[in-house]
Amino acid sequence: MSPPRATQPQAVLVLPHLRVQNANAISSPLTHGFPSITAFTGLMWALERKLVQAGIALQLLQVGVICHAHDEQVVDGYVKTFRLTRNPVGKDGKTAAIVEEGRIHLDITLVFGVAMPDTAALIQATEDQSQALAQEASQVLSTMRIAGGTVLPTPPTPGRRTRPWLALLPEDAEAQAAAFKQWRRQWLPGYALVGRDDLLAKRLAHLQQTQPDATLLDAWLHAARFNHAPIAAAEGEAPQADGKVRWADPLRGKGAGWTVPIPVGYTSLTGKPYGAGEVAHARDNTTPFAFVESVYSLGEWISPHRLHNVQSLLWDAETDSEKGLYRCRSGYVPPDTDADTLDNDEPDFD
C-alpha cells in the first residue's frame, strides 16, 4: 500500500543552473522557443518515481522553472528556420526524409515543492542530511532527459551557487516570505515562467468591445502579436511639429511585461477516457486512454526578484476528468499596485 500523498509542500528542492543540451524547442503545434511547462511537470513525476526506486521517499508536488540563458538552434533572418540534421540513408540506400526538429540549449534552475510521508523525518533532518537528499536527487536527474534534452555536468562557477539544496518552508507566512526573499537572489540574473490567464481574459474583453463575436482563440492570437495603431496625443499635449503620428501597440505599453503565448496542458477530444486496453496499439494497456489536443494560455517571463512568495513561482498539475481537462495551473497572482520598485513591487499590466 502506497503512503498517503501530501497536498501542500513542506520544503523546496532547488536544482540550480542545470545545463541542458538539445531540449525540444517546439512546445506545441502552434508555439516554439522554450519547452512546454508540461515537459517539466512530466519530468517531476518521472523524477519522483526514480527517487522512490532509489529509496528516497520524496513526493514532488509542484515545479517552477527559471531560465538563465537559452540558445535556440535557428537560423536568424526575417523568417527564422530551425537548424535541421541530415539523417543517415535508409536500408534501401535512399536519403531519409528530414523530420523537422526544434532544439534549444538551456541554463535553467528547477524548483520543486516537496513533501515526505514521514513529516517528522523531513523536519528533524540536519543540514547535512538535507544536502545529501538534494545531492542524490540531482544525481538521479543527471541520468534523465529534460524536455528531450541531455543534462550536462555543471562545473563550479565563482559567484554562482550551483550545488543543489533542500530547505524547509517555514509555517509562519512572514518567515516564509523572508526566507524566499533570500532564496530568490540566488536565481538572478534569470526569468521565471508564470501563468497569466488573467491577461487572456482582459484581452478577450477588450476585443469584444468592437467585435462581440470574438472568441478566446481570437484573443490569444491577438495577444501573440504586435498590433500597431496610431496613438493620439494625450489631452493637453501638443501635436508633433512635423505632423507625424506615432504608431505603437496600445496594449503593449511601458511596463506591459514580457508576455508570451504558451501551451498549458491538454483537453480530451472524446470526453471521458477509454478504458485500459480498449484502444489498440496504445503505449500503456493498463492506463485509461484519451485523444487530446493542446490547451493554450498566456505566460509571462518575470524576474524572480519581483516574486513575493514561493507559490507564485510554482505550477500545479490540475485534472478535471468530467471536462476532460488536464492542465498546469500557476500560483502567480498579479499585484494590484502601480508601484514599480526593485525589491518588491511589479508594474500594473492594464
H helical segments located in 12-103: 37-53
Which range among 37-46, 97-106, 139-148, 258-267 shows the weakest confidence by mean pLDDT?
Answer: 97-106
pLDDT at 342 over 70: no
The per-residue pLDDT for 62 is 95
Q: Say what the pLDDT of residue 2 is.
A: 57
pLDDT (average), residues 64-68:
96
Q: Over 50: is that where the pLDDT of 321 sits? A: yes
Is the pLDDT at 348 greater than 50? The verdict is no
pLDDT over threshold 60, residue 308: yes
**pTM of the complete model:** 0.86
Residue 285 has pLDDT above 60, yes or no: yes
- 341: pLDDT strictly greater than 60: no
pLDDT at 222 over 80: yes
Q: How many CB atoms within 10 Å of residue 111? A: 23
- At residue 70, the pLDDT reads 93
The predicted structure's pLDDT at residue 230 = 84
Do 185 and 303 meet the contact criterion of CB atoms below 8 Å apart? no
CA distances to 91, 101, 114, 121, 239 from 1, in Å: 49, 42, 20, 20, 75
Residue 339: is its pLDDT beyond 50?
no
Checking if the pLDDT of 1 tops 90, the result is no
- Angle subtended at Cα 30 by Cα 24 and Cα 34, rounded to the nearest 5 degrees: 35
Least confident interval from 104-108, 158-162, 197-201, 232-236: 232-236
pLDDT band per the 50, 70, 90 thresholds, residue 338: very low
Pairwise CA distance, residues 85 & 296, whole Å: 29
Q: Does residue 101 or residue 112 have the better pLDDT?
A: 112
Output the pLDDT for position 322: 84
Q: Is the pLDDT higher at 245 or at 349?
A: 245
CA distance 245 to 231: 7
pLDDT for position 332: 93
Q: What is the mean pLDDT of residues 138-147?
A: 94
Average of per-residue pLDDT values in the chain: 86
φ, ψ dihedrals at 283, nearest 5°: -65, -35
Convert the pLDDT of each residue in 109-141 to its tens digit.
Answer: 999 999 988 777 777 777 888 888 999 999 999
Between CA 117 and CA 126 the distance in angstroms is 18
Q: Which DSSP string corresponds to 163-218?
A: S-EEEEPPSSHHHHHHHHHHHGGGG-S-EEEEE-HHHHHHHHHHHHTT-TT--HHH
pLDDT of residue 215: 92
Write out the E strands in 57-134: 59-72, 74-75, 81-82, 103-115
Q: Is residue 350 predicted with pLDDT exceeding 90?
A: no
pLDDT-based confidence at 281, cuts 50/70/90?
A: confident
Give the per-residue pLDDT at 236: 66
Give the number of other CB atoms < 10 A from CB of residue 21. Answer: 14
